[in-house]
Each structure stands twice: as structure tokens, then as C-alpha cells.
Structure 1
Amino acid sequence: MSKKIMLFVILSAMLIVIAGCGGAQPSTEGGADGGSAAAETVKLRLGHIAGEGDAWHKGALKFAELVKEKSGGTVEVEVFPSSTLGNDRDLIEGMQLGSVDFALVAGVLSNFHQPMSILELPYLFRDQAHLEKVLYGDVGTQLKQDLLDNAQIRGLEFWVRGPRELTANRPINSVEDLKGLKIRVPEIPASIAAWEAMGATPTPMAFGEVYSSLQTGVIDAQENPLAFIDSNKLLEVQDYVMLTNHVYGYVLLTMSDLTYQKLNEEQRKAVEEAAKEATEFENNLVAEQETQLVQKFKDNGTQVIEVDTAPFMEKAKTVHAEFAEKYGQELYDSIVNVQ
């Protein structure tokens, strides 16, 4: 009799445990098809290579704030600046694997979808207005779709940057002064070829290595937008800024498509709306900074040189035809012809 009672107690306890486990499972009703949101908060990671003072980081924080608000707290985004999650290539590969959810990346995307190389050609864009018409028009829309189709990276929104300028440990007053200059460039074939055409000695390098390489003399120069130069304290190890305006560039707020597919419709909508609003915030911030930074540099003792860009442009454009033929003459022409 005692054995029967003991067996009854054990079976009863097992049923209670099973019932309890079943009730603890988070709701997945709807899921990616758009039903009710999961009970548990989805925590996602956004990485970028810029410092905490950069407009990228401030824009990323605004994006995270908006995602949480618009998703009703069901999606939270943690932002990792300063290459904490890796360099550009690491971030892109992480999104393809699903270990990184969002990233702010630019030219290195061309290593994963080659036609993006064309956007990195020095002196491709006439000015900032030309860049914005391309990015926010049909060309930009098609580029984002092609990136998704070919690399499984979802381009949410293009953010604008100030034009890329040259910094060096010696003054560069003319294109002839570039001869023998060891300049760090991103790992982008178009950038490498154009700087070679201008007479420099380009050295492809991940951005996280740039400060120490300038400090130790491994390289003599680098090129980036003024805000990026400032927020990453590069003028601690460089004495001259040359206003070459050689690339009017972008950064793309990207998302792992693997992550996107795991969200329900309401969460996807929250992410997309947050991306649009954060874009306006970041773009306005960049515009404000650009008007202030040249004076800040001068006040801090940096020599700022306004070069005649025409000879630089003439040399750089000698590689345009090669890259247009290689990566898409139609794309190149559609960019150049935007009015």
C-alpha cells in the first residue's frame, strides 16, 4: 500500500513540473507573420567603428531610443562604438552569421557587394547635394535591394557624412606633394587605385589600427571626414589638414536579415520607422558640426590648407572608367547623370 502511495506522489509531482514548464514558455504567437509580440524583450546589438563623440554614435543612440519607444519596449538595441564588436569587415560578417544585429558601415560593403565600390571613387560626386540626390533617390533604393539580394544585409537608411579630407604629418599643397606619402586607406579597391593614380602610396588598414600607426610612423597620412578625424583624436598625431573634398560619402545603417526575419511585423515597423527618424537626426548633426570643425582645428593649432582640387580630381578620375566597366557602367552613368 505504501508503495502505491509513493508512486502516486511521484507521478503527481512530475505532472506539476511538466505543467509548470509548459506555462513558462514565452508566447510566439504570430512571430514573423505579425501576430502579438513575444512576451520577452528582444535584445539586439549595434556596432560601429567611430568614437563616442562622433555623429554616428549619437545617431545610433537615438536609433536605439526610438526602437525601444516604438516597439513598446519589446525590442532593445545596445550600441557598441569604437570597434568593440570588431572592424567593418567583422561587423558585416557578423550580420551575415547573425552574431551582430545592426551595424553602421560604408565602403567595406564593396567587398561583399562589389558595385558599391563605385560610390567610393574619389571625385565621383560633384558636391553634397549630388550625393543626397543619389542616395535618397532610385539609385540608393536599388543599391539597398541589391545588397540584400547578394549579401543578405538589409540596408535600412543611408546617413550622410561630411566630405573626406586628407591629414598628414607634412603639408600637402599640390598633387605633386603626394609622391611617396604613405597614406592609410580603407580596404576598398577604388580608394587604393585612386590614391595610387594621384601619386601616393596607399596602405589598406582597418580603422582601429590607424591612430597607433600614425603615432609610430608606420603611415604618414590618412583621410576621413572632419567629424571622424575630430572624434577619434587623430590630430593628436597629425599636424596638417588638407581640404581635398575628394569623397562625399555615406554610412549605411544596416541590419542582419537573419535578425529581421525573427521579428514580428510590429517590431519590424518599429525598426524601420526609428531608422528614418534617426537619419534626420544624424544628418542635421553632421551639418552643424561641419561648420564648426575647421575653426576648432585652427584654434587648436592645426594648419588647415585649402588646396586646388582640380589637379587631384584630374589624376583620380583616370581610374573611373576601369571601375565603371568592372562593376557597372549603367550604375556609374546613372550616378554621374543625376541632376
Structure 2
Amino acid sequence: MKIKLTTILGAVAALALSAAAAQAQTALKWAHVYETSEPFHTESVWAAEEIGKRTNGRYKIDVFPASQLGKEADINQGLKLGTVDIIISGSSFAARDYKPIGVTYFPYIFRGPEHLIAYTKSDVFKRLAAGYEEKSGNHIAAVSYYGTRQTTSNKPIAKCSDMQGLKIRVPDVPAYLAMPRACGANTTPIAFAEVYLALQNGTVEAQENPLTTIEAKKFFEVQKNIILTGHIVDHLNTVVSKQLWSSLSDEDKKIFSDVMLEAAEKTTKIIADKEKALVASFKERGLSVTDIDKADFEKNVVEKVKFEDFGYEKSDWEAIRAIKE
């Protein structure tokens, strides 16, 4: 009887411990708008699993790719509503809460990916990220290189004036509109998930995105001219909601930050390496890939676009331009 009672009590205790462990686990949602084949997704999945491991299973993070939880504006709003806990999103959306952080989208501010990464380690970035956190409560834990934005079009483009009257899809973000509008294009904001169809049916004649996105979204199937305008060296932030970040212990904050930074570094390397190979790949597929005179485009932007129109500080632009790789 004693042995049987001990066995029963042991089983009850084990069940109680198991129930307590299950109850202690926190379920989190990590959302983004990118395809499952892209490193923004694969490295997010790795990070979600790694955080689970390093916290001994106290956090279970599910990653929702390809706009499953909404478009980019929706998931940014979701941070405030509590419907998502972590997102990957551009500073253009962070700028809706804190305009100065969007200065990184001013055309030709960065010389290339190395300059961008140097910026993310600078005092300028720390100050702008702190400004965003103060306004929104959300915490930027890491930054990934997204790619250098290039243009695809139904027609060849060699100089800024060639874009006059061109119907081009551009995200509904003020700084993204700067270069096309400075060149006289007609900009149209179309949701990211709908761009392929818009290009296919002629709703727009052009779009702009990094080469990796042009490949992942298969825009090259419906656009035969790739113009290396290189107007924006783009990035994505890994953003943790105010509610989640404030609930984490200092130890867990370090774990989340360390893992997210590691994932961002891996993403950056994958993107940079792939971009280098894609120009040759697109040419092999029979596409026209054209270099342009960036000085002509930059001159038009500087002459026709004002920092004040976007809520940016010229001093921030100057400080970022001065950063050495």
C-alpha cells in the first residue's frame, strides 16, 4: 500500500510540475511580410527556436511570414494592439511614430551596404532608435541589410528624365517617393502582395525593390528591364513590442537581443552575397541590366526635394554621410 501510494503521489507531483511548466511557457507571435524562401523568414525561424532553447522553453515563438497576420502597416499597428509581439519592418514605418528615424530613406544617403551597417553601430543610430522607442515604446533589437533598391521597368531608363510620366509602384512612404518624383514619374502606392499582378496587367509600368526581392517575388517575369538606380540602401528592423520588452527580465532582454543581432548578421551576409551574384543571373535569363549615372539622379533629388517636407533633420543626414565604413 505504501509503495502504491508513493507511486500515485509521484505521478501527481509529476503532472503538477508538467502543468506548471506548460503554464509558465509564454506564447509569442513574430510577423513579417516576406516569403518563406527569404532569409528574413528563415533566420527569424532560427531566432525563434534559439530563444526558446536559451530560455529553457519559457518562450514559444511562432513566426508568421508572407503577410499572414496583415500587411506591413497592419503588423506595425499590431505591436500597439497586442496582436503581435515581434515584427520585421522598415524604418519608414518606424518614422510614422518618430519622423527623424526615416532620414535613412533619403535617396543616396548611404554609399553602400558597408556604410549602412557602420551606421547601425553608430551614436547617430542609437540616438534615433532611442527617439523611436521613447515615442512608441517599442524596442529596435536588431537591424538587417534588406538590399539596395533598384528599378524594374517596361522600358529602358538611362537618366533621370527618362522616368518622366512613368507609372511606377512605390510604397506609400514619403522618402521612397523622393527619387521617382524628382525625376517626374507618376508614383502609385500598391500593397506589396499585389505588385506582381499590377505589373502583369499594366496598372503600373515600373517598380523599385532590391534585386533579391525582384527575384523572390518573380517581378523579372513581368519586367524585362532592370535599372541599377541604387537610390536607397535599405534595411529592416527587428522590433519588439513595448508590452513584451517591458515584461522581460534583464537576462531575457540580453538573450532576445543577442539572438536577434546574430540572426540579423546572418541575414545581412546572405543578402549581400546573393546580390553580388544576381546581376549575372538576370543577364543569363535574358533581361536587360543597366547601370546609370547616379550623379544625375542624385543632383535632381538634392535640387528638388527638401528635408523639411519629410520631418527629417539635415544635421542627421550630414552625420550619417560622414560615418566611415
Q: Could you state the TM-score of these two structures normalised by the residue count of structure 2?
A: 0.88
Contact 1:176 1:199 in 2 (8 A): yes
**Distance 1:145-1:55 versus aligned 2 partners, 3 A rule:** same
Pairing 1:217–2:202 present: yes
SS in 1 for 2:274: helix
Larger radius of gyration: 1
Contact 1:113 1:147 in 2 (8 A): yes
Pick the aligned partner of 1:312 from 280, 286, 297.
297
- Report the identity percentage: 31
Task: Report the Cα offset of residue 200 of structure 1.
Answer: 1.0
What runs of 5+ residues in structure 2 fail to find an aligned partner? 1-15
| Number of equivalences | 309
Task: Report the Cα offset of residue 25 of structure 1.
Answer: 11
Aligned residue identity for 2:280: Q
Task: Report the Cα offset of residue 39 of structure 1.
Answer: 4.9
Pairing 1:60–2:34 present: no
Contact 2:178 2:305 in 1 (8 A): no
**2:237 counterpart residue number:** 252
**2:53 counterpart residue number:** 69
Pairing 1:105–2:105 present: no
1-structure distance, mates of 2:236, 2:95: 12
1:281-300 deviations in Å (ceiling 9; x for gaps): 11111122112111221222
Pairing 1:161–2:146 present: yes
Aligned residue identity for 2:172: E
**2:28 counterpart residue number:** 44
1-structure distance, mates of 2:150, 2:202: 20
Task: Report the Cα offset of residue 250 of structure 1.
Answer: 0.8
Alignment RMSD: 2.2
**1:32 counterpart residue number:** none
Pairing 1:289–2:274 present: yes
Pick the aligned partner of 1:277 from 262, 269, 273.
262
Contact 1:108 1:187 in 2 (8 A): no
SS in 1 for 2:296: helix
SS in 2 for 1:249: strand
Question: For residues 72-221 of structure 1, what are the structure 2 equivalents within 5 Å?
Answer: 72-106=56-90, 107-221=92-206
Task: Report the Cα offset of residue 324 of structure 1.
Answer: 7.9
Aligned residue identity for 2:255: A
SS in 1 for 2:104: helix
Contact 1:51 1:57 in 2 (8 A): yes
- Deviation >4 Å, runs of 4+: 23-27
2-structure distance, mates of 1:142, 1:26: 44
Q: Could you state the TM-score of these two structures normalised by the residue count of structure 1?
A: 0.85
**2:253 counterpart residue number:** 268
2-structure distance, mates of 1:323, 1:130: 24
Aligned residue identity for 2:54: K
